[in-house]
Amino acid sequence: MTALQRYWMTLDEFLDWDPPDENGAAWDLLDGEPIMQANPTETHGALQAALTVLIGGAVRCNRPECRAIVEAGVLPPNHRNMNYRQVDIAVTCAPAKRGNRYVEAPVLLVEILSPGNRLRTRDNVTILAGLPSVAEIVLVDSERVAVEVRRRGPDGAWSDADERHGPGGRLVLATIGLDVGVDAIYAGLGFD
């Protein structure tokens, strides 16, 4: 990942910014500094597409007042005027606002872990877990069949231990009524 040297901006400046062409790379804003995300692998893209279909279908069937958003901008809970994170998939049930450039009140966040973004993605997830609206966070590994789920309990506290599911396991998301085999997420990607 590349950072622009000594270039600081506010959220509004970042949202209006025309970044340098880096093969369509996505950018985050981290404490006022624009940071380029690693370009996704083919496997990352295929997992994101499969998850978008599964999550989008569950949302339409079970939570029609909500919507799934791909490459969703999310504002962290602190220093919102200097921070912006782009997650692979977010689900929100907040009223839609035409032209909004970030997701309001996400209830579910999904991130795909790739070799080039693994540590930074985990850091972002930890930060975004501070949003009171987020009830579930899913991390999907792009190098092996492995899914992690973080859940907020009825008391509003995060569970002490993440759920981990591998081959033969099931991904169950209460926020959207999804129950799918982990193997179905990875189908056709050579993980057999």
The pLDDT tens digits of the residues spanning 20-75 come to 766 667 888 888 888 888 778 899 999 999 999 999 999 999 999 999 999 999 99
Q: Distance between CA atoms of 59 and 11, rounded to whole angstroms? A: 29
Q: With a cut of 60, say whether residue 123 has pLDDT above it.
A: yes
66-82 in b/e burial notation, b at 16+ Cβ within 10 A? bbbbeebbbbbeeeeeb
Give SS3 for 100: coil
Q: Of 137 and 122, which is predicted with more confidence?
A: 137
**What is the bridge-based pairing of β-strands 33-36 and 170-173?**
unpaired
Q: Of 109 and 28, which is predicted with more confidence?
A: 109
Where do the domains of the chain lie?
A: 40-185
Does the domain at 40-185 match CATH 3.30.300.30? Answer given as: no
Distances (CA, A) of 62 to 57, 139, 175, 177: 8, 22, 9, 6
Q: With a cut of 80, say whether residue 102 has pLDDT above it.
A: yes
Q: What residue has token string 């877990």?
A: 129
Q: Which two tokens stand for residue 174?
A: 């209460």
Residues near 130 by beta carbon (within 8 Å), at least 6 away in sequence: 76, 77, 78
Q: Average pLDDT, stretch 80-86?
A: 89
Confidence of residue 4 (pLDDT cuts 50, 70, 90): very low
pLDDT tens digit string along 142-191? Answer: 999 999 999 999 899 999 888 999 999 999 999 999 999 999 999 999 88
**What is the bridge-based pairing of β-strands 106-113 and 136-141?**
parallel
Looking at residue 160, its pLDDT comes to 85
pTM of the model: 0.89
Residues near 42 by beta carbon (within 8 Å), at least 6 away in sequence: none
Q: Distance between CA atoms of 69 and 92, rounded to whole angstroms? A: 8
- Cross-strand bridge partners of residue 171: 180
Percent of the chain with pLDDT over 90: 61
- Cross-strand bridge partners of residue 111: 139
Q: Average pLDDT, stretch 72-84?
A: 90
C-alpha torsion sign, points 173, 176, 179, 183: negative
